[in-house]
Structure 1
Amino acid sequence: MKMIVVYILVVLLKVVSADEKNTTFTTPEYIIPCYKSDPEINKCLEHTFNHLRPYLLNGIQDINVPSIDPLKIDRLVMENGQGAFRIRALFHNVTAAGGSNYTINKIKADIVNYNIELGFKLPRVEIKGKYEVSGNVLLFPVRSKGDFWAIFVDVDAAAKIYGKEFKDKSNTRYMRIEKLFIDFKLQKSRFRVRDVINHGNIIGEAMNQFLNSNANEIIAEMKPAANAAIAKHFKAFLNSALLKLPLKVWLPDA
């Protein structure tokens, strides 16, 4: 009897400790798998990201990815405590259109360590939503709240992804983003606000004129805060999708 019990325990331990090698994963139509052993893996990943574009436009329900065009962001906070623009800006109910028109123009991947550098272009992005701003611009205190509209043209963006392998309770392996850094450059931009605090008076109109006349300077001052806020949002967004896609689905020889 003891031998039988020991045998059953050994079998159970083998089942529990079995990894994903014996598991068959179905590759969804929106994924073009790449192989770590492929010397042209950068080209493969570029093809994969561009292949995703129409699916991201419609949203991918099985991994809970909503449409990125328009992309909806419930809340985004930017804080800048240095320089001429020391402000805290809260944006909410944000809608961004134009994200699905991206073109990947650079990928450099270190798949062994799950690090990926991306370069991409967006011809035009239109953003609208609600905002609240408080702080100081130059030497003047500023408090503003209302609706905003912004247009960005010819956006060059870059992202650096630092990932790490992660196993769930069933021993299935995934990639999780540990760090994400984002940077961007704009050729043209235009802003418009409807300030409900100063609406209809000279302060509200002066703010619109100031935003558009000093757009480049404002973007330069706020860019570190914007990069950090956008990266924080997209890190959570991407991890929610990646943790539903086993590594074997998109990297079969991982």
Structure 2
Amino acid sequence: MSKLSIFFAVCAVVCQSEALKLPDYITPCSRKDPNFNECALKHGREAIPRLLKGDPKYGVPVLDPMYVPEVSVEESGIKITARNFTIEGARNATLQDFRVDFDKLIVSIQFMAPQLDFRGKYELSGKLVSLPIIGKGDFNSTFRGLIAKYETQCNFTKKADGKTYLMPLDYEMEFEPEFVRIYFGNLFNGNKLLGDAMNSFIAENWRLVLDQIGKPAYRALGMIVHQILVQVANKVPYDELFSDTD
């Protein structure tokens, strides 16, 4: 479980003691409704534009642009850390699917974003598609035609108010873009010749590159969805979040 996911899980237990009603811009769906998924998709589409603007009452920060302090991954022969970066473009995303498995307590969401832009600081070292690489500086990347799939396992928790809340745990994020552009500044300690050659290689082989170093982007993008779910579920009791009336 990532550090951010641990924070979200702890916060779901201790950060809020007073139960809140759903905000008026979110219409609840009954978990007894045989067409629950269709209901959730419809009302989710209505609520997302408002949620992306942030809602201090429910602890939801501004999510477009979204600020991410740090995401790191070390595997496949490379270590990469992205710091103090922003993600822009979520406001133009379209919610495509919203499903809740009430027996297994799994929430699954799919959306499509025409374009997402990432900008910030990076540090990396290791081998990228078998080529040695090292760098530290600014990065920017653009994802176009992005289909993203988010899934989280949840548990129930009972708070001091005696009410039951849904607690989203860690999450998985997958996505398939039509096109990606990635640029790393100051590669190879500022060697322009080597840096330009590597950035050209990345541009020509972006799918291979994304397979190896895409996880920080996956995690960061998943945080947009995860923060909304965690903060709202942490403050609104389960029976109000998903009513049991027809």
| TM-score interval, normalised by the smaller of the two chains | 0.7 to 0.9
1:92 equivalent among 79, 83, 87 = 83
Counterpart-to-counterpart distance in 2, 1:139 and 1:184 = 24
Residue of structure 1 equivalent to 2:148: 157
Shift of 1:213: 1.3
Residue of structure 2 equivalent to 1:186: 177
SS in 2 for 1:209: helix
Answer whether contact 2:183 2:199 (CA < 8 A) is retained.
yes
Per-residue CA deviation, residues 76-111 of structure 1 (Å, 9 max, x unaligned), is 112223xxxx21110011101001222121233212
1:201 equivalent among 180, 192, 197 = 192
Is 1:32 matched up with 2:32?
no
Per-residue CA deviation, residues 40-76 of structure 1 (Å, 9 max, x unaligned), is 1001111232122221232111111111110110111
Is 1:145 matched up with 2:140?
no
Moved over 6 A (4+): none
Counterpart-to-counterpart distance in 2, 1:155 and 1:77 = 22
Shift of 1:137: 2.6
- Equivalences, count: 228
Counterpart-to-counterpart distance in 2, 1:105 and 1:138 = 33
Is 1:177 matched up with 2:168?
yes
RMSD: 2.5
Alignment of 1:100-111 (within 5 A): 100-111=91-102
Residue of structure 1 equivalent to 2:43: 48
Normalised by the size of structure 1, how large is the TM-score?
Answer: 0.80
Shift of 1:185: 0.1
Residue of structure 2 equivalent to 1:19: none
Higher relative contact order (CA 8 A, sep 6+): 2
Per-residue CA deviation, residues 158-201 of structure 1 (Å, 9 max, x unaligned), is 11222111111121111111342111001011112211653352
Answer whether contact 2:21 2:236 (CA < 8 A) is retained.
no
Normalised by the size of structure 2, how large is the TM-score?
Answer: 0.82
Amino acid at match of 1:166: T
Counterpart-to-counterpart distance in 2, 1:94 and 1:210 = 23
**Relative to structure 1, is the Cα distance of residues 144 and 39 closer, same or farther in structure 2, using a 3 angstrom cutoff?**
same
SS in 2 for 1:195: coil
Unaligned runs of 5+ in 1: 1-22
Is 1:252 matched up with 2:243?
yes
Counterpart-to-counterpart distance in 2, 1:245 and 1:137 = 45
Shift of 1:135: 1.1
Amino acid at match of 2:184: V
Amino acid at match of 1:135: G
2:120 equivalent among 115, 122, 129 = 129
235-244 or 49-58: which moved more? 235-244
Residue of structure 2 equivalent to 1:75: 70
Answer whether contact 1:77 1:229 (CA < 8 A) is retained.
no
Counterpart-to-counterpart distance in 1, 2:164 and 2:134 = 48
% identical equivalent positions: 25
